Chain A
Amino acid sequence: MTDVIIIGAGVVGAAIARELSRKDRSVLVLEKNSDVCEGTSKANSGIVHGGYDAMPGTKKAFFNVKGSLMMEELSKTLDFPYKRNGSLVLLPDGADEETLDALFQRGLKNGVKGLEIIDRDRLHELEPNVNDSVRKALYVPTGALVCPFLLTIALAENAAVNGVEFRFDTEVTDIRKEDGAFRVFAGGEEYSSRYVINAAGVYADVIHNMVCPQKIAIRPVRGQYCLFDRTVGSVIKHTLFSLPTAMGKGVLVTPTVHGNLMAGPTAEAVDDREATNTTAVGLETVLQKGSLSVNSLPGRKVITSFAGLRAREKGGDFIIGEDRNVPGFIDVSGIESPGLSAAPAIGVHVAGLVNELDQRPDRKDFAETRKGTPSMANADEKTRQRLIKENPAFANVICRCELVTEGEIIDAIKRPLGARTLDGVKRRVRAGMGRCQAGFCSPKVAQILSRELGISEEEITKSGKGSEILKGIAKHDI
């Protein structure tokens, strides 16, 4: 019998796992995909929101403000990329000025620091490439950027080091509560636990409804993005949100923490929870609306596009807490935006709930910090020289666009909860994230994976079973 089962290894499940591992207890994370960060946590804006947006008094507002205050410190403790660049909420032509004021007031109520309404001159000084038609803006100096992959991976890795067990390719299909304990059926096996935490993202209602008589309902809202080449990453410095106009809700344009430029997301309700596909209309909308914020958005510099699904629950707010009817079942569902920003605070809060129900001594050897894979691209020459001296594989460049070496890729595979897929490597060390989108490096990364994991190249996948990158050997099917 495990003490706690967490369903879902997204940023929320990972944050909770890490906080739970501070105490002496057994924690098991069940994840249907082959890696952490395969759900919504991999496809979002990567913005640590200031917290002005959510309605005062909601869980969204509470956890957003709290989480965003924790993020910078956490990025140092767990070594993931974070950058405070500040956000600007733009008031374009045709948008309602009162909405901007309302946001400002809301932000003040939520306790967001440093908010300011700035005029056109100041705005253009801060952001010379902002679209000429913008008249005014709300300045949010606490807005920041984070790498959503490495945030999630860092939390999970640290949890794993502190004793949390992760089972991948293990989809939960049923849950029963019997004799005060849970029977969790997943991946063809049965697990039992005293507590279950539901962090299943867009499937959190499905999980909830397996055991809870009072049903909840999530209808995903898709958001599509275009990502641009790094050569245009410095077109703007701040994250630019845009207020709604007659054309509808705006999209944001932002640099990413790795220096690319990104525009999106759209907002479309979809029925299929796997509909992370992009559409022609969606991508066109992104580029069109993005250019309302930035002068001459460089459409030709798009290097990829993607989409993520917001787990919108019909109540409109996060659902966080023990279910009224099923003691020991803790929901963390409806975690749509600003879930990434809120995750660190949600982790602490949920672990607190469990600790109240189930008091345990501290884990004596808890490892608070984590060190990430060294990055050759970001290292100065002396560091590069040292890394190569320690391990010559750090001189062997595998991904030329992002300058990622064999040494980094091996580290990504060998570390706790290491990468086992091309996407796993890509999210950990950025091989394949650049302008050629893995054209050059994927055959090489596949060979390294095959060698390090001791499996054949034919077994290497992009993102788990069913996504094998090869279809056999040449000539064998004539």
Chain B
Amino acid sequence: MTYDVDIAVIGGGPAGLAAADSAKKAGVKNILILERDFRLGGILNQCIHNGFGLHTFKEELTGPEYADRYIKKIREDGVDYMLDTMVTDLKLNDDGSKTVTAMNRTEGIIKVNAKAVILSMGCRERARGSMNTPGFRGAGIYSAGTAQLFVNINGKMPGRQVVIVGSGDIGLIMARRMTLEGAKVKMVVEIMPHSGGLKRNIVQCLQDFGIPLRLSHTVTDIRGGKRVEGVVVSRVDDDLRPVEGSEEYVECDTVLYSVGLIPENEITLKMGAKLDERTNAPLVGDDLQIDSSGVFACGNVLHVHDIVDHVTEEAVNAGENAASFVLYGKVSKGAKGLVESAEKNVYVPGVDEDKMTCVRCPNGCLLSVEKGTDGTLKVTGNLCPRGEAYAVSEFTAPMRTLTTTVRVKNGTTKALPVKTSADIPKEKLLECIRALTDVEVAAPKRTGDIIVKNIADTGSDIIATGSVDNV
């Protein structure tokens, strides 16, 4: 099969979706998204926790909910997309056009001739192998994203006694996910003297559950031939080298690696693009274009974004620039490009330890709470009243959104992501999970469907945050 389009978008994650939407709105008619998964949304489908969209929508969404908003947009736009379709090649033709080669079950090999191409293939995780951690290679060694998929999409436990390597947000989020689903997370080890994750995640993913964070430590040996039986954890010195004599054996059946992401660049290399030696991402101009070729890149394929809102912003730029390229043959000078993450509010031990980070909006104010002699609480550091309310609640009775999954019968996935419709008291988290243990719903379900009313007497409902179709 051969298709002729104005813009071919490779990858239907948040980057691809936002790029397609903005190109369409800029006046490009014929846009085709090629996505290898059975649905749009990219990695967000498995990021069922909340915390997405504070910048873009001024509210806290889960990954699937965030994706859903953009899927709706491109459906309204009438942008075409092909699912279960893997792109295998990208060629620049002599006449300036591009040919994308893809394949799927129904059409076999597909050729898409495009005036412009947007690369939005996301990234993949670094694995244990790339860390060169010595030891055995039994079952139970996974990247955090693989574990996330097992738990959040398939409803299965990859392990019961877990050590997590790397304290970036993904590692922290997985510590909470594994705990909430019944595993014991023994510790999170981090080779750096500070965590790479948001302070909020340190609080809500580790401290809420008493999970130790071992800074300046790393795993130096993995034991257990058939399945992991334990790891050796060592302290590291200033050069990040393990310190002899500091070894500690930790029994566990699972090691999760959350040690960074690398752009997905098979296709990028096929078109002959040069990669940045350090980041492994394609080299692009200020307009996100690779070498004036009419091929643009955005999202995690270009550089790793901590928050999806920045992916979206950058993808909108890519979409607009690709539209200019198609409509006017060039991108005007001064076009918008890369969106770098703002400095991140990471956890540094001993610094602001007594302060809390407000999570009500992206400002992320550092709040202090003092108890007056009369028992009243005085909050400082907040820019708006919402901060005060947050600090008081966090000080007196912390509230949390529970995000988890329920099992699905006859669905395209075995688990459906859900959340509490309103925050619930922190100490009720596990009780709610227990109440959900035997809940099984029948497909189909749509985002927003009520799954359980008034869960564990919290007054909050359990609602679907994603969709699942019938098989």
A residues apposed to B, CB below 8 Å: 226-227, 231, 274, 276-280, 282-283, 302-306, 381, 384-385, 388-389, 392-393, 395-397, 400-401, 403, 435-440, 442-443, 447, 457-458, 461-478
Contacts and interface: CB of A to CB of B under 8 A. Distances in A.
A388 B103 contact: yes
Main secondary structure of the interface of B (DSSP, over half): mixed
Contacts of A461: 139
A461 B140 CA distance: 10
Contacts of A442: 142, 146
Interface in B377-417: 404-405, 415
Contacts of A393: 105
B150 interface: yes
A407 B103 CA distance: 13
Interface residues of B, number: 64
Contact of B130 (A303, A458, A475): A303
Nearest to A43: B137
A478 B158 contact: no
23 contacts: A277-B136, A277-B223, A302-B129, A303-B127, A384-B103, A388-B103, A389-B108, A395-B86, A395-B103, A395-B105, A395-B108, A438-B146, A439-B124, A439-B125, A466-B226, A467-B139, A471-B158, A474-B155, A474-B181, A474-B415, A475-B181, A476-B157, A478-B182
Please name the 7 residue pairs, one residue from A and one from B, whose CB atoms are nearest each other, closest first.
A304-B129, A477-B182, A466-B226, A392-B105, A462-B139, A437-B127, A467-B226
Nearest to B406: A475
A377 B88 CA distance: 10
Contacts of B88: 397, 403
B129 A471 contact: no
Given A231-B269, A304-B137, A471-B160, 18 more contacts: A226-B132, A227-B129, A305-B129, A381-B101, A395-B86, A395-B108, A396-B104, A400-B86, A400-B266, A443-B153, A468-B139, A471-B253, A471-B254, A472-B156, A472-B160, A474-B155, A474-B156, A478-B430
Interface of B: 36, 84, 86, 88, 101, 103-106, 108-109, 124-125, 127-130, 132, 134-140, 142-143, 145-146, 149-151, 153-160, 181-183, 220-223, 225-227, 242, 253-254, 264, 266, 269, 404-405, 415, 430, 433-434, 436-437
A280 B220 contact: yes
Given A302-B132, A473-B156, A440 B146 contact: yes
A274 B225 contact: yes
Contacts of A385: 108-109
Q: Which of A279, A385, A439, A463 has the most CB of B within 10 A?
A: A439
Contact of B227 (A305, A467, A474): A467
A393 B156 CA distance: 25
Contact of A472 (B103, B137, B140, B157): B157
Contacts of A478: 181-182, 430, 433-434, 437
Contacts of B130: 302-303, 435, 437
A463 to B, nearest CB: 7
Given A400-B266, A457-B156, A476 B182 contact: yes
Contacts of B137: 276, 304, 306
Contacts of B109: 381, 384-385, 388
Nearest to B434: A478
Given A392-B105, A439-B124, A475 B129 contact: no
A283 B139 CA distance: 21
Contacts of A381: 101, 109
Contacts of A477: 157, 160, 182-183
Given A280-B220, A283-B134, A478-B182, A470 B129 contact: no
B332 to A, nearest CB: 35
Contacts of B106: 392
Contacts of A231: 269
A242 to B, nearest CB: 21
B85 to A, nearest CB: 9
B129 A473 contact: no
Contacts of A458: 156
A437 B405 contact: no
B146 A475 contact: no
A468 B138 CA distance: 10
A20 B346 CA distance: 66
Contacts of B139: 461-463, 467-469
A167 to B, nearest CB: 19
Given A388-B109, A439-B145, A469-B139, A476 B125 contact: no
Contacts of A280: 134, 220-221, 242
Nearest to B137: A306
Contacts of A447: 154
Contacts of A475: 181-182, 404, 433-434, 436-437
Contact of A278 (B135, B146, B150): B135
Contacts of A463: 138-139, 226
B105 A436 contact: no
Contacts of A396: 84, 104-105
Nearest to A278: B134
A185 B103 CA distance: 52
A465 B138 CA distance: 11
Contacts of A403: 88
Contacts of B404: 475
Contacts of A467: 138-139, 226-227
B158 A470 contact: yes
Contacts of B155: 473-474
A470 B147 CA distance: 10
A302 B127 CA distance: 10
A443 B128 contact: no
Nearest to B124: A436
B237 to A, nearest CB: 14
A469 B140 CA distance: 6
Nearest to B149: A443
Contacts of B160: 471-472, 477
A397 B109 CA distance: 13
Q: Which of B109, B137, B157, B182 has the most CB of A within 10 A?
A: B137
Nearest to B182: A477
A305 B182 CA distance: 32
Contacts of A388: 103, 105, 108-109
Contacts of B146: 438-440, 442-443
Nearest to A387: B108
A468 B140 CA distance: 8
Given A470-B156, A470-B158, A474-B156, A440 B124 contact: yes
B157 to A, nearest CB: 5
Q: Which of A280, A282, A473, A474 has the most CB of B within 10 A?
A: A474
A334 B223 CA distance: 28
Nearest to B178: A474
Contacts of B253: 471
A442 B128 CA distance: 14
A464 B134 contact: no
A381 B181 CA distance: 45
Nearest to A389: B108
A436 B157 contact: no
Nearest to A287: B132
A400 B135 CA distance: 26
B141 to A, nearest CB: 9
B174 to A, nearest CB: 13
Nearest to A302: B132
Contacts of B159: 471
B125 A474 contact: no
A101 to B, nearest CB: 37
Nearest to B431: A478
A101 B34 CA distance: 59
B242 A473 contact: no
Contacts of B103: 384, 388, 395, 397
